[in-house]
Amino acid sequence: MPKFSANLSMLFTELPFLDRFVAAARADFQAVEFLFPYAFPAQEIRRRLDDNGLQLVLHNLPAGNWEAGERGIACDPARTGEFRAGIAQAIDYAQALGVGQLNCLAGKAPAGVAAQALHDTFVDNLFRAATAFKAADLRLLIEPINTFDIPGFYLNRTDQALAILDAVGADNAFVQYDIYHAQRMEGELAATLQKHLQRIGHIQLADNPGRNEPGTGEINYPFLFAHLDRIGYSGWIGCEYKPATSTEAGLGWRQRMLAA
């Protein structure tokens, strides 16, 4: 039976961030995830988790200036010092919040930087992060993101992510497989999940087109949920979609999909 985590950066966004935890619990989520915790004291987020009986299953490493359009800095040779400082900050928050895995966003490829330099920078930064995470008993994730939504995003396909992880060579580093992004870039969802299940640390979802809730687009989610059960995926599935109307109005997809 799939376990769904509410992504609080996408769901309940009509509420202030710290009020989304109680909304998630009232909507029968047992776990949450979000992009970044760093704008808030870790102890305040931890209190919201504990007060609402929620488990935190994921957040990201610092990823540059999000409001200005940056979507990660891990592939940028000019930002390695900032990235390394972010590793320590991410570990501090992870340990305070009780989360076991963190996602590293590669970012957009900076203009004028050679492909080999982008690759080598990303691999080196990931190796440093994975080494520090290993000491802290954390898993490192990397996420391919489609280049229709984020033009120029460096990491955009599953095979590329796996090759990067091979180069990193860390046994605590995995792919974060977002079904929506994978559908837009490559398809072959069921086959890819089955083939690479042991290297997938976390799964996220949204339908396509529109990035709305399951059941609004072309992806056969009842089949995929049954498939994930068959192949033995036991982790959380993050609900990282844009509600077509309101979060609450769209939540009936969980019952419909699991009954199908």
Indicate which residues carry an active-site annotation.
143, 240
Give the model's pLDDT for residue 9.
98
> Cα-flanking dihedrals φ and ψ of residue 240, to 5°?
-110, 65
- The half-sphere exposure of 198 on its side-chain side, counting CA atoms within 13 A, is 2
Percent of the chain that is helix, strand, coil (3-state, to 5): 45, 15, 40
Tell me the chain's radius of gyration from C-alpha atoms: 18
Is the N-terminal amide bond of 110 cis, ω within 30° of 0?
no
CA geometry: angle 23, 24, 28, nearest 5 deg = 115
Amino acid letter at 134?
A: K
Give the model's pLDDT for residue 142.
98
How many structural domains are present in the chain? 1
Give the model's pLDDT for residue 60.
98
- Distance (Å) of CA 149 to CA 61, 88, 118, 145: 20, 29, 21, 8
Give the model's pLDDT for residue 88.
98
pLDDT digits (tens, 9 = 90+) for 215-246: 999 999 999 999 999 999 999 999 999 999 99
Instruction: Provide the residue range defining the domain that includes 163.
Output: 3-259
Cβ neighbors of 69 (< 8 A, separation 6 or more) are none
The CATH number that applies at residue 62 is: 3.20.20.150
Average pLDDT, rounded, for the chain: 97
**CB-CB contact of 108 with 152 (8 Å):** yes
**CB-CB contact of 200 with 175 (8 Å):** yes
pLDDT in tens, the chain (260 residues): 899 999 999 999 999 999 999 999 999 999 999 999 999 999 999 999 999 999 999 999 999 999 999 999 999 999 999 999 999 999 999 999 999 999 999 999 999 999 999 999 999 999 999 999 999 999 999 999 999 999 999 999 999 999 999 999 999 999 999 999 999 999 999 999 999 999 999 999 999 999 999 999 999 999 999 999 999 999 999 999 999 999 999 999 999 988 76
pTM of the model: 0.97
Instruction: Give the rounded percent of residues in the chain with a pLDDT score beyond 90.
Output: 97
